[in-house]
Amino acid sequence: MSSPRRLHPAAVFFNLIKSLREMIFLFILGFITFREQGFLYFLMVAFFIVILMILFHALAWYRFTYRVEENELRIEYGIFIRRKRYISKNRIQSIDLTAGVIHRIFKLVKVQIETAGSGTEAEGSLSAVTLGEGERLRSELKQRKKSAEEEVEEAEENNDPSFTISFKRLFLAGSTSSSIGIILAFFVVAFSEIEQFIPDEVYSNAIDWVVSLSLILIAAFIVFILIMIWLLGIAGTMIKYGNFTITNRKSELFITRGLLEKKQITIPLNRIQAVGIQESMIRQPLGYAAVFAEVAGGSQEKGEDFSTILFPMIKKTEIAPFLQEILPGYAKLPEVWEPLPKKALKYYLFRSMLPFILLGAAVIWFFPSFIWLAIILFAISFLLGWQRYKDGGFALKGNMLMVKYRVFGKNTMLIYHRRIQAFEKKQHLMHRRENLATMELSIIGKFGAGKHYKLKEMKVSNTDELSDWYSYRGKLNMNKKDNQRGMK
């Protein structure tokens, strides 16, 4: 495939829609301004601009060529300024094929080629090629030259371990997505006999007119809105993660997902920096969690998460078998965690309660009759602080460090020694007196930025133990061995 190729002509259409969408604000502004006078001129100008844009994009399409040559993807583009971009095969980290709704009508895909660079956009982007062409390009640009043996393996793709989300699971994931949090919080407050708590003067004063609208009507309306939010949450999850399938293809993970927009994501195993398990507050009591990975490099796309979801909804008991199949290197969840020392509890409580103490004070000062609200917030923040303390901890297993902590949901991170970029121990005056320390680990995150994990107020002996484990002094060889083991 050394001859230069053009994109599918539909690319003109896609790019046109994209730039029209960017300009829609201008059009609306123009429409409003010229609505009364000179509307005809406005229409003419707008029409002219659209024609110009079509010409521009057609020309851009004509000038945009790509080819694979000498182990490089060579893209040439630009109307007035000719640009050539050569991406070496060896530098390509991932090749993603995405098909939006319109793409799927024409059986087209968008190809995004990413290197380790930290730009906000994919380094190489082909907005529309036919599905066959996209897949051919991908197999051609695959990083490594395959041995015959691997070629065979590739052919028997069905043998690769693979997990697909069931519809029931997906529905459950949607109905417990974050939007339900808002609703739950609302219901808890709303139905705990709220009327008892609302003091009389509120009725008689400023809220009078609201009451006159009939409380029932308003309540019904709010409930309706909340149910809508909830249903939208379900729909959103279904659309995003519909048909979610993850396959372990020896040197890479392959994910396809999406009901309307079909997305194929390839994650080379050696780009995975850490694996995490997140149990959100709603899913945790049900025994469910999401598994995700921190992948280095990559680009920032609209609607893209910071972490790559490896499985959106999984029973906690299924995680170990899942990792065993998909990422055997990470399939060693510990049973025993080193907890935080008792002395740490007061710091955790203080941190989570402080904003609410201030807020509560403000409430008591300005709206003394709403003191019950302050008390509820206070209790919640106390529980949260307590839970954060209980859920903090670490475990060491060979060359892997596992850290668990809670922000709102509970996170468990599995990080290999060689993936940790820097190790930091922090202590302030009170920490030093109480033999406590905060540990911070840094790994490479997406978009070339670092990702940092903190475990606050550990025993100082624990941080020292971990720093000894991390320190490379006099054990460079051991680390080399780890590297090989870690790869497998």
| Contact residue for another protein among 98, 264, 399, 463 (CB under 8 A) | 463
| Contact residue for another protein among 373, 424, 434, 447 (CB under 8 A) | 424
Of the two residues 393 and 445, which places its CB atom closer to another protein in the complex?
445
* CA 170 – CA 159 distance, rounded (Å): 25
Among the listed ranges 121-129, 243-251, 342-350, 419-427, the one in contact with another protein (CB under 8 A) is 419-427
Chain CA centroid to CA 218, Å? 36
Name the residue with tokens 């521009």.
56
Among the listed ranges 17-25, 134-142, 212-220, 438-446, the one in contact with another protein (CB under 8 A) is 438-446
Of the two residues 312 and 445, which places its CB atom closer to another protein in the complex?
445
| Contact residue for another protein among 70, 168, 429, 488 (CB under 8 A) | 429
| Contact residue for another protein among 182, 225, 422, 478 (CB under 8 A) | 422
The two structure tokens encoding residue 297:
């490099």
Q: What minimum distance in Å lies between the beta carbon of 219 and another protein?
A: 49
Q: What minimum distance in Å lies between the beta carbon of 288 and another protein?
A: 30
Give the helix/strand (H/E) hosting 413: strand 410-416
Among the listed ranges 73-81, 210-218, 307-315, 461-469, the one in contact with another protein (CB under 8 A) is 461-469
* 470 within 8 A of 449, measured Cβ to Cβ: no
* CA 438 – CA 456 distance, rounded (Å): 4
Residue 445 contacts another protein per CB under 8 A: yes
Closest CA to 294 of 448, 160, 410, 161: 448
Residue 483 contacts another protein per CB under 8 A: yes
| Contact residue for another protein among 83, 250, 397, 432 (CB under 8 A) | 432
Residue 418 contacts another protein per CB under 8 A: yes
Of the two residues 122 and 272, which places its CB atom closer to another protein in the complex?
272
Among the listed ranges 5-13, 41-49, 321-329, 471-479, the one in contact with another protein (CB under 8 A) is 471-479
Chain CA centroid to CA 123, Å? 20
Residue 474 contacts another protein per CB under 8 A: yes
Among the listed ranges 33-41, 241-249, 340-348, 476-484, the one in contact with another protein (CB under 8 A) is 476-484
Among the listed ranges 13-21, 25-33, 205-213, 449-457, the one in contact with another protein (CB under 8 A) is 449-457
How many residues interact with another protein (rule CB under 8 A)? 38
Q: What angle do CA 421, 479, 325 make, to 5 degrees?
A: 85
Of the two residues 258 and 297, which places its CB atom closer to another protein in the complex?
297
Residues 6+ apart with CB under 8 A from 197: 372
Cβ neighbour number for residue 422 with a 10 Å cutoff: 11
Q: What minimum distance in Å lies between the beta carbon of 294 and another protein?
A: 10
Residue 116 contacts another protein per CB under 8 A: yes
* CA 313 – CA 262 distance, rounded (Å): 19
| Contact residue for another protein among 296, 319, 326, 415 (CB under 8 A) | 296
| Contact residue for another protein among 23, 425, 434, 447 (CB under 8 A) | 425
Residue 488 contacts another protein per CB under 8 A: no
Of the two residues 83 and 475, which places its CB atom closer to another protein in the complex?
475
The two structure tokens encoding residue 231:
């249903």
Q: What minimum distance in Å lies between the beta carbon of 462 and another protein?
A: 11
Burial class of residue 151, CB neighbours in 10 A (0-12, 13-18, 19+):
exposed
* CA 299 – CA 115 distance, rounded (Å): 9
The two structure tokens encoding residue 16:
């046109």
* CA 345 – CA 364 distance, rounded (Å): 27
* CA 485 – CA 488 distance, rounded (Å): 6
Closest CA to 113 of 101, 121, 102: 121
Among the listed ranges 129-137, 192-200, 216-224, 467-475, the one in contact with another protein (CB under 8 A) is 467-475
Residues between 254 and 283 that touch another protein (CB under 8 A) = 270-271
Residue 433 contacts another protein per CB under 8 A: no
Q: What angle do CA 404, 410, 413 make, to 5 degrees?
A: 40
Residue 178 contacts another protein per CB under 8 A: no
* CA 441 – CA 396 distance, rounded (Å): 14
Distances (CA, A) of 188 to 180, 192, 196, 405, 423: 12, 6, 14, 26, 42
Closest CA to 267 of 243, 294, 289: 294
Q: What minimum distance in Å lies between the beta carbon of 456 and another protein?
A: 12
Note the residues at the interface with another protein (CB under 8 A).
Answer: 116, 270-271, 296-297, 418, 421-429, 432, 442-445, 448-452, 463-464, 467-468, 470-476, 479, 483
